[in-house]
Structure 1
């Protein structure tokens, strides 16, 4: 979009008006007619509403700077301050534990002196392996402390009974994120594998492999991982939950894979459920054979490598430098390692996140804020129900199911209704790496407790101290984290209109997920079934096609001659449109006498969420991979379809921010 404002045009028109006033020279030739000026609000509302932020925020050299990213930074600083105070003057036992954990991580001299001592017991157990029958117990023991090896095992929803979680046995145990890295032969992959081999050797050396054996043992590690990769599914397939769902009675798997001793594995994890999912029997059959076929020395090298790699961020400088050089620079594209406090905060959130979340909620969320947020969520939900009732595209049967599902929607704000047990063994200030293993073991045990009947809603998949507003499809649950309840989403100083425009619209965005094309796959009773008719599906597709076409006409900021990918961003753009439509209905129902300034504040708050500056490389990457439109179009795209926006800012049909009535896309209005 052009950056020039129509100031020069306005001045020119003003001069024409002066020359045309009564008393001007009647013999003067008539000035040529010009198009009337279009106000900035009606040209590019995103640029107008965010002008100060955009001016004050330069384009970064790499990555992105966004308003919501700044909110995440604020939440991290709040966590840091909490931990600093807990370290110096803890209020209660939980803060004492967290403060000690924090102190142990910041004491870099002690971490350096600790070296490999925190993982020494794990390495000793691995080094004690003598025969094939010793390997499964070591695999199970490492899973217990939160270091998955050979395969992954984690709780997830039972797709045939969404009110419960079962344990999923899945592929894993490889040090590289994509199995294809191990088998591709192109030049870039070959170069990457050379860097990977060097990293494996560094970690093996740190965990005790003699220099003379580093080449041989690193080759054994990569050979074992390559064997896993050859049988593994591609990432595209493994990321589809339906591909991973293959329920089987627990008692049946013990006889199939005797070498793996999966019955003993489950017992070690504290899992006694009668059902598990194992979607790739060929992979586990291969693993079962590898236990007896590969020499014990190869397994020992592999297991030591996996322990060292998993724990490297929490150990001495040599471990951290090696891990960052490969995983940070090569895989994640990071230029500079995070500050020490950031590394320690990330570690605490990984291993003891619910403990920190418990204290964060107590400090940063007032009861009145929770009450106000809950009231607004209910107002938005009622507006969505009303919109369903008057829908012109939804069938009567679908309307009835949608109303029932919205009425049954569970709402959890601030923290989960079912708090996790956040008490963990005393950690002390002695060893950061040791504390990580203690906390990680505790966290893994809590995860395993999610497996079984009635435990599906045991906790969230996000932490209260991390900004998130999400719809949980399996549980028909709206989740609003504590960190979300602050500016710019739900700021204390914001008026009602601004809160509806930001928080209300985001809530409506997520609530719409309950009844969109994916939401229609789960009914009001939580059963997996499609409750849309063919006509409903066709109507939704038609609206989606219109939305995709609208956004495909927008230039992608920061990428020359590129357009937004309308198909890639279709679902999010539809949810944005739904969000603004429904939030506006809820706002006008709650404030029917709102004046023009409040009505404008609603739309300004929506626009304020999406200010962003993207580095050129980031813009190019998002063009092809990001399922959300750039911030400019998350602001302008939905608003251009709303007559209420045109009325609030006196925009005329046909102007950029007010599409002609025939072109306006309607989801729920």
Structure 2
């Protein structure tokens, strides 16, 4: 779960709430005792883990964090094996890449050698007409300068990829930083000028020229920033989509040579998106109006800036001081192996994915995941058919989406061309450029193709379950199919309570407040009525009030922010309801112990421990409730939980029947 696409649709997850009919007389007849499970099921179900995983100092631990760490260790072990005894050509590439990165002595000896050819080409620029080819060459190796050019979904056909020209070319994340008079922005700009100066020194600027060349970089970037649109305006995909014919580029952008740029990227599409022609017209003018030496300095800085994390320690240290400490707020650099693994995933993640899936996804696990996910999808179809809040027309649209919903488990279905320039073990920076060039080539090959449904935007070696709203499909990564999400050693009920609930957590989005934006045919349109929206939001308010009443674990006199966590709280409730329906339909005669296993499977997903400072930060900013209430909150609304553990409704954890909230289970 992890590349940011400029046209990614925001999934504001909201679920509908309803009321359960009262069964107070039946509850009184049973007169069950109040047990630890009934008062705080989260703590009772996870007591051993909580006792063994205390937090010392500042930080947090969680079950899903442990899964992430396990997946990282599996990747490291795979790369170690590929380094020692590769079994195929892809493993040979990965083994060399890994070996060159973890050999710190070799990295230090290599110094700035990996970027020397690029710097040599830039230093050879003499005339304005030399600038555009240099820009195109840097884009080819994955270093975007002057502007961005990417492959993404074509909004007029979501199964097709288009090329997108967009603003970029800046070293700071927001164009406003260059011109704002805000004191914090001015301070940040001051730190940035120090960073630019340091990178220029490392890429060959003599000390007596550093100040002047730093000013050249800042001047050119400030010009680009003034021509750029505010970051907020980039959030609407439609406002940044404008297909234009490529045929006129040679005349329109003579100095930028955009027609030749596309050829250099291997793009032969007749149309691309260019939504800000004014920016590109001005960039075209700047190529001719600014002295070539200023462009050379700007390009040299951006090569150093992009490659600094993969070069010798002087580069890494200055890059971390600005990007790590200043921009990301980090206190220390990551361990060397982590840095190298992150780099491999960034540039050659699809290569690593192929090998990870072959090693860590048994056919039996994939089959089990498909079976459970299919049953949860059937449960969603039943829930839509019986619910009382959806209009008939919305039900019809939802049924069509569920019928068309695809489930993809494990790997991406898209075959890539893994041929690339050979890698060696002596230069990590050079290997990074080779891998980045390969990655860029494969991205550019997508443009104009109508196979978007075959591509994943998540890596199988990273634990992810994700609903792809554009293509109405559930993506389940190979790394997610292990404990605590899908533990093949657990009984079936627990697997539904964990993996089944995670599936429901995602596919409910297909027909909820987010899913209403795309119909079964992939068209961008709202297929809900005003009454559907009103019903949804009205029930949402009930859930906000429920969570507002919960104490925040680890903090004195602080409550959960029900409004901030509303959307995810609704998804959690939906997840339990749908997964329970799927399991109870598949196992209608299950004994009480199996029923308990379902809820324990749910509880183990969200176990966590946090220090007070982390809890305080999360209380103010996190869109998820703390683990205790991710578990207990939905169960407080679920009659089957009270029945399974013989809990008295209205006491302890379980809410009174007339206060319970429902989304998809049977009831009003």
Give the TM-score of the pair, scaled to structure 2.
Answer: 0.91
Q: Is 1:129 equivalent to 2:125 in the alignment?
A: yes
> Of residues 145, 151, 154 in structure 1, which corresponds to 2:150?
154
Partner of 1:257: 253
Is the contact made by 2:127 and 2:292 (CA closer than 8 Å) also made in structure 1? Answer: yes
Looking at structure 2, the residues matched to 252 and 81 of structure 1 have their Cα atoms a distance apart, in angstroms, of 51
Aligned partner of residue 658 in structure 2, secondary structure: coil
Call closer, same or farther: CA 1:171–1:61 in 2, change over 3 Å: farther
Looking at structure 2, the residues matched to 656 and 278 of structure 1 have their Cα atoms a distance apart, in angstroms, of 59
Call closer, same or farther: CA 1:219–1:95 in 2, change over 3 Å: same
> Of residues 523, 538, 541 in structure 2, which corresponds to 1:542?
538
Partner of 2:318: 322
Q: Is 1:452 equivalent to 2:448 in the alignment?
A: yes
The superposition leaves residues 19-43 of structure 1 with CA deviations (integer Å, 9 ceiling, x where unpaired) of: xxxxxxxxxxxxxxxxx98432222
Q: Is 1:631 equivalent to 2:627 in the alignment?
A: yes
Q: CA deviation at 1:496?
A: 0.7
Call closer, same or farther: CA 1:663–1:120 in 2, change over 3 Å: same
Q: Is 1:240 equivalent to 2:232 in the alignment?
A: no
Is the contact made by 1:354 and 1:422 (CA closer than 8 Å) also made in structure 2? Answer: no
Looking at structure 2, the residues matched to 621 and 261 of structure 1 have their Cα atoms a distance apart, in angstroms, of 49
Is the contact made by 2:33 and 2:646 (CA closer than 8 Å) also made in structure 1? Answer: no
The superposition leaves residues 303-322 of structure 1 with CA deviations (integer Å, 9 ceiling, x where unpaired) of: 11111111111111111111
Aligned partner of residue 491 in structure 1, secondary structure: coil
Q: CA deviation at 1:457?
A: 2.5
Looking at structure 2, the residues matched to 424 and 52 of structure 1 have their Cα atoms a distance apart, in angstroms, of 50
Q: CA deviation at 1:49?
A: 2.0
Aligned partner of residue 627 in structure 1, secondary structure: coil
Q: Is 1:664 equivalent to 2:660 in the alignment?
A: yes
Is the contact made by 2:153 and 2:161 (CA closer than 8 Å) also made in structure 1? Answer: yes
Higher mean alpha-carbon deviation, 492-501 vs 293-302, is at 293-302
The superposition leaves residues 522-555 of structure 1 with CA deviations (integer Å, 9 ceiling, x where unpaired) of: 1111112221122222211222222223223333
Q: CA deviation at 1:184?
A: 2.8
User: Which one has a bigger Cα radius of gyration?
Assistant: 1
Partner of 2:548: 552
Q: Is 1:508 equivalent to 2:466 in the alignment?
A: no
Is the contact made by 1:166 and 1:277 (CA closer than 8 Å) also made in structure 2? Answer: yes
Call closer, same or farther: CA 1:549–1:283 in 2, change over 3 Å: farther
Is the contact made by 2:33 and 2:648 (CA closer than 8 Å) also made in structure 1? Answer: no
Give the TM-score of the pair, scaled to structure 1.
Answer: 0.91
Higher mean alpha-carbon deviation, 165-174 vs 40-49, is at 40-49
Q: Which has the higher contact order (CA 8 A, sep 6+)?
A: 2
Aligned CA-pair RMSD: 1.9
Q: CA deviation at 1:349?
A: 0.7
Is the contact made by 1:450 and 1:458 (CA closer than 8 Å) also made in structure 2? Answer: no
Looking at structure 2, the residues matched to 628 and 655 of structure 1 have their Cα atoms a distance apart, in angstroms, of 25
Aligned partner of residue 415 in structure 2, secondary structure: coil
Gaps (5+ residues) in structure 2?
1-31
Partner of 2:9: none
> Of residues 548, 560, 568 in structure 1, which corresponds to 2:564?
568
Q: Is 1:168 equivalent to 2:161 in the alignment?
A: no
Q: Is 1:114 equivalent to 2:110 in the alignment?
A: yes
Aligned partner of residue 251 in structure 1, secondary structure: helix
The superposition leaves residues 485-540 of structure 1 with CA deviations (integer Å, 9 ceiling, x where unpaired) of: 11011112111111101110010111111111221111111112221122222211
Q: CA deviation at 1:61?
A: 4.0
Q: Is 1:655 equivalent to 2:655 in the alignment?
A: no
Partner of 1:22: none
Q: CA deviation at 1:110?
A: 1.3
Q: Is 1:343 equivalent to 2:339 in the alignment?
A: yes
Aligned partner of residue 594 in structure 2, secondary structure: helix
Partner of 1:283: 279
Call closer, same or farther: CA 1:120–1:482 in 2, change over 3 Å: same
Is the contact made by 1:207 and 1:305 (CA closer than 8 Å) also made in structure 2? Answer: yes
> Of residues 560, 573, 578 in structure 2, which corresponds to 1:577?
573
Q: CA deviation at 1:56?
A: 2.2
Looking at structure 1, the residues matched to 287 and 553 of structure 2 have their Cα atoms a distance apart, in angstroms, of 53
Higher mean alpha-carbon deviation, 585-594 vs 327-336, is at 327-336
Q: Is 1:354 equivalent to 2:350 in the alignment?
A: yes
* 1:224-235 alignment, distance < 5 Å: 224-235=220-231
> Of residues 55, 66, 73 in structure 2, which corresponds to 1:77?
73
Q: CA deviation at 1:63?
A: 4.6
> Of residues 204, 207, 217 in structure 1, which corresponds to 2:203?
207
Q: CA deviation at 1:381?
A: 0.5
Partner of 1:298: 294
Partner of 2:597: 601
The superposition leaves residues 396-440 of structure 1 with CA deviations (integer Å, 9 ceiling, x where unpaired) of: 221122111111112111101223233333212121111110110
Aligned partner of residue 662 in structure 1, secondary structure: helix
Looking at structure 1, the residues matched to 563 and 127 of structure 2 have their Cα atoms a distance apart, in angstroms, of 54
Higher mean alpha-carbon deviation, 277-286 vs 162-171, is at 277-286
Call closer, same or farther: CA 1:269–1:620 in 2, change over 3 Å: farther
Q: CA deviation at 1:214?
A: 0.8
Q: CA deviation at 1:617?
A: 4.0
Q: Is 1:68 equivalent to 2:43 in the alignment?
A: no
> Of residues 365, 369, 375 in structure 1, which corresponds to 2:365?
369
Higher mean alpha-carbon deviation, 77-86 vs 604-613, is at 604-613
Q: CA deviation at 1:225?
A: 1.8
> Of residues 85, 89, 95 in structure 2, which corresponds to 1:99?
95
Partner of 2:459: 463
Is the contact made by 1:420 and 1:458 (CA closer than 8 Å) also made in structure 2? Answer: no
The superposition leaves residues 615-645 of structure 1 with CA deviations (integer Å, 9 ceiling, x where unpaired) of: 4443344334332222222112211111111
Partner of 1:223: 219
Is the contact made by 2:249 and 2:257 (CA closer than 8 Å) also made in structure 1? Answer: no
Call closer, same or farther: CA 1:343–1:404 in 2, change over 3 Å: same
Looking at structure 2, the residues matched to 435 and 214 of structure 1 have their Cα atoms a distance apart, in angstroms, of 30
Q: CA deviation at 1:599?
A: 1.4
Looking at structure 2, the residues matched to 60 and 300 of structure 1 have their Cα atoms a distance apart, in angstroms, of 51
Looking at structure 2, the residues matched to 518 and 245 of structure 1 have their Cα atoms a distance apart, in angstroms, of 21
Gaps (5+ residues) in structure 1?
1-35
Q: CA deviation at 1:274?
A: 2.5
Partner of 1:415: 411
Looking at structure 2, the residues matched to 378 and 156 of structure 1 have their Cα atoms a distance apart, in angstroms, of 29
Aligned partner of residue 457 in structure 1, secondary structure: helix
Aligned partner of residue 157 in structure 1, secondary structure: strand
Q: CA deviation at 1:187?
A: 3.3
Q: CA deviation at 1:76?
A: 0.6
The superposition leaves residues 59-93 of structure 1 with CA deviations (integer Å, 9 ceiling, x where unpaired) of: 36445322111111100100000111111111122
Partner of 2:519: 523
Looking at structure 1, the residues matched to 157 and 355 of structure 2 have their Cα atoms a distance apart, in angstroms, of 33
Aligned pair count?
A: 635
Aligned partner of residue 452 in structure 1, secondary structure: coil
Looking at structure 2, the residues matched to 174 and 286 of structure 1 have their Cα atoms a distance apart, in angstroms, of 15
Q: CA deviation at 1:357?
A: 0.6
* 1:18-37 alignment, distance < 5 Å: none
